[in-house]
Amino acid sequence: MRKDESEITHQSLQHFGLRKEHHLSIEMAARELRYEWFEKLRLQIGAQWIAVAHHRDDSNETMLLNLMRGTGINGLLGIRPKNGCIVRPLLCISRDDIIEILNNGDLQYVTDSTNAEDEFKRNKVRLHIIPLMQTINPSVKEALSQTAEHLAEAADIYNKVIAEGKKNVVDGNNINIEKLKKEPSPHALLFEILYPLGFVSSQIDELLTALNGQPGKIFESSGWIAVKDRNKILIQKKEENAQPQLEIRRVERTKDFIIPRNADIACVDADLIKEPLTIRKWQKGDRFIPFGMSGSKLVSNYLTDKKQSLLQKNNQWIVCSGTNIVWLVDERSDNRYRVTNKTKNMLLITIKRQ
């Protein structure tokens, strides 16, 4: 086996091993692997374009598949002729046209045997649904292609309006609810913002209904979280919410040592700490004594006083010594573990950043 073949095989095993974790179908996992390989070859040989052989029938099947699973206007355009470095020069002709050209030119070709199986959704559309549609309209393939062309023209106008709407309502990863409500079609705009992030139509409908309700409603796609806050929809990647790792450095207290005052580092008396330190999300009922204070305070109240959003609150990590809070990460340490004139040894606690 050649090195590049071995590499592809290893990638294949790795990719298909992960597809369940990311909720990918075999077809989608294979498609991603195939295009990753194409791009690698393109860079190796210095090519400008990758030309693939999708034809008009493939585009019609994509259009119907998207229609059945639920999509916006862009999903009804079928396969686009150009997407980045990918070009599709055969979209203007059908599979029958291609076969006829090959036969007339006495050219040899190979047909994928899996095309005749109906295990996959696309094959079901090709082998069963489109033939059934042809019994109603023999020219249904041409009709679907014409419809996609008309929709493409409408989509140009639609996408321009959507782009302007996004500029009005999106601020970083937040959506301004009041501005969203003033848009001509809040539902369409919210759909176009969230659907590409993996949120399905039913979630978007439910979120739109929740805009007039109490804050706190949480929606999740495979890779993102959306939270309805008071006046914003907060959006965050799930990986940004992964448990961080602690970096702990033990140092001796000296006269010339200057205690860091940054919120992203905790400097505490090491001899008061019960190790090992642990890290977790804060929970309802958690209390601590904020640095500089004598009385305890609920973590929830502290975060509210800091005017944190719901998403920020949900993402708040705490470092504990036993059951006691030592540090609200990136916020404030606990006064019980503060460094004093009697401190001999200190722990400097920070978070490993990605």
All structural domains of the chain, each given as residue ranges with its CATH number in brackets, are 1-47 (no CATH), 53-168 (3.40.50.620), 172-240 (3.30.465), 246-351 (3.50.40.10)
pLDDT digits (tens, 9 = 90+) for 81-94: 999 999 999 999 99
pLDDT exceeds 70 at position 18: no
Q: How far apart are CA 297 and CA 286, in angstroms?
A: 9
AA identity, residue 105: G
Residues 6+ apart with CB under 8 A from 354: none
Q: What secondary structure letter does DSSP report for 268?
A: E
The answer to whether the beta carbons of residues 228 and 216 sit under 8 Å apart is yes
More confident residue, 227 or 10: 227
User: Going edge to edge, which strands form the sheet with 86-87?
Assistant: 50-51, 86-87, 82-83
The string over 90-122, giving b where at least 16 C-beta atoms fall within 10 Å of a residue's C-beta and e elsewhere, is bbeebeeebeeeeeeeeeeeeeeeeeeeeeebe
Single pTM value for the model: 0.66
Lowest mean pLDDT among 14-28, 118-132, 234-248, 252-266: 14-28
Q: Is residue 348 within 8 Å of 249, Cβ to Cβ?
A: yes
